Amino acid sequence: MRVLLIESSCYKPLNPYFADALEELAAGRGWNSRFVDEADFFPVKLSLLSRASAKLLGDHSRRRRELFNRHIQEVARTFRPDVLLIVNGKMVAPATLRAIKRGTGALLVNYATDSPFNPVVTTRYFREAVPEFDIYATPKRALMKDLTAAGCAKVVKTLFAYTPEVHFEERPATTVEKQRFECGVAFIGSCDRDRLVFFQALLKSMPLVRLSIYGNGWEPYRFLRFYLRGEVSGREFRLAVGGAKIALNFIRHANLDDHSERAFQLAACGAFILSERTDQQVELLAEDREAAYFSSPEELVEKISYYLNRETVRNRIAIAGHERVVKGDHTCKDRLFQILSLAIEDLQRRSDAAVLRVTA
C-alpha cells in the first residue's frame, strides 16, 4: 500500500503527529509512504493563520496556498498513492482533492482534530472540502451528523491520542526544575472565554492557591496575570505536569469536543487529573477511580479543596489513570493504524467490486 500523508509539524510535539508513526508502520508492514509538511509552506500555526485578516496576509498568503496545492498535486502524480491521509488540511483546496482522485484513484481520508464548522479555527478550504473525502474521521461525536449532511460519504468516530516519547518522563527533574514547576494546581492550554469563570471562582474561594497557567491568550485578563507561566512543550510540558498536585483538564466547547486530547497526555505523564465532566471523558477514565471530574465552577472548587491535601488518594487515582491510557491503544501509532485499517477495508471492497464487474 502507498500512503501519502499531509499534516503540519507546527503542532509538534504536543498534538498528534502521524509522520513519525507512519514511517514506523510503513517499515514494519512493507508499505510505501510519503509525507508533505504544511509547515514548509505555512510556518505558523494554521489556527492563527485562519484568524488573521486578508488585509494582513494578502497576496503573500494566496501565493503560498497556490504553491502548496501545486506541490501536493505533483507529489501525488509521481507517488500515486492508494491512500491520501490529511490531518485537518486547512489549506488543501477541494479542487486539489478532486484532481488527485481523478489522476490517481486514491482513497481520500481526513483525520480532523478541529471542526471545519468552527469559525475560530476553520478556513474556506477546510469547510468546503468535507464532501470530497471518502472517509472523515472525527473525535467529535456531535459533528458526525453535520459532516454527513455536508456530503461526506463515510463519517467515523475516533479518539484523540498521545505520543509516548513526548509524554513519558525518563530523566528526573533537577532541584531547580522542581522549584520552578512545583504548584498546587496547573492548567496547560490556551484561553477560551468559557474557562475564565472557573478560575474566577477558584481564586475567589481559594485566593492562596498555588496556581500555574501555561498557554497563550490569557494576558488580557488582569486577575490571572500573576499566575501566567508562559508556554511549555516537550520536557517542560512533562515537568509542568509532574510539578502539580492537580492537573486541570477542560473540554473545548467551541470545537464541539466530547473528550480532550490533553486528558490522554496528562494521564500518560502520570498526572492526577481533575477534568471537566462529559460522558465520553468518564467512559475513557472512570470517575473517582482513574480521574476526578467537575461540571460547574462550584464543583471545581469543591474538588480542589478535597484533593489538594490528600496525596495518597491522588496518587492512587493517577496511577490507575496512567495504566488505563498506556495499556489502551491510544498512541498516535495506534490511532493511525486504526484509521488506515478503515481505508484498507474500503480499498479491499473496491478491489472485490472491480473483480465482480470483470467476471460478470
Which residue ranges make up each domain of the chain? Answer: 2-161+331-359, 164-326
Q: Which residues contact 232 (CB under 8 A, 6 or more apart)?
A: 188, 214, 239, 240
Q: What gap in Å lies between CA 322 and CA 214, rounded to an integer?
A: 22
Q: What is the mean pLDDT of residues 320-344?
A: 95
Q: Which of 114-123, 264-273, 275-284 has the weakest average pLDDT?
A: 114-123
Phi then psi for residue 120, to 5 deg, are -75, -35
Closest C-alpha to 13, from 325, 233, 332: 233
Q: Given strand 2-7, what is the order of strands in its sheet?
A: 32-37, 2-7, 83-87, 107-111, 135-138, 155-157
Query: Which one is predicted more confidently, 233 or 85?
Result: 85
Instruction: Check pLDDT > 90 for residue 47.
Output: no
Question: What SS3 class is residue 37?
Answer: strand
User: What's the pLDDT score for residue 59?
Assistant: 46
Topology of the domain covering 2-161+331-359: Rossmann fold (3.40.50)
Percent of the chain having pLDDT more than 90?
79
Question: What SS3 class is residue 293?
Answer: strand
**Domain 164-326, classified CATH 1.20.1260.10, yes or no:** no
Q: What gap in Å lies between CA 123 and CA 90, rounded to an integer?
A: 6
Instruction: Check pLDDT > 90 for residue 16.
Output: no
Residues 190-214: pLDDT tens digits? 999 999 999 999 999 999 999 999 9
User: What's the pLDDT score for residue 359?
Assistant: 61
Q: Residues 159, 330: contact at Cβ < 8 Å?
A: yes
Instruction: Check pLDDT > 70 for residue 46.
Output: no
Instruction: Check pLDDT > 60 for residue 58.
Output: no
Q: What is the mean pLDDT of residues 325-354?
A: 91
pTM of structure: 0.88
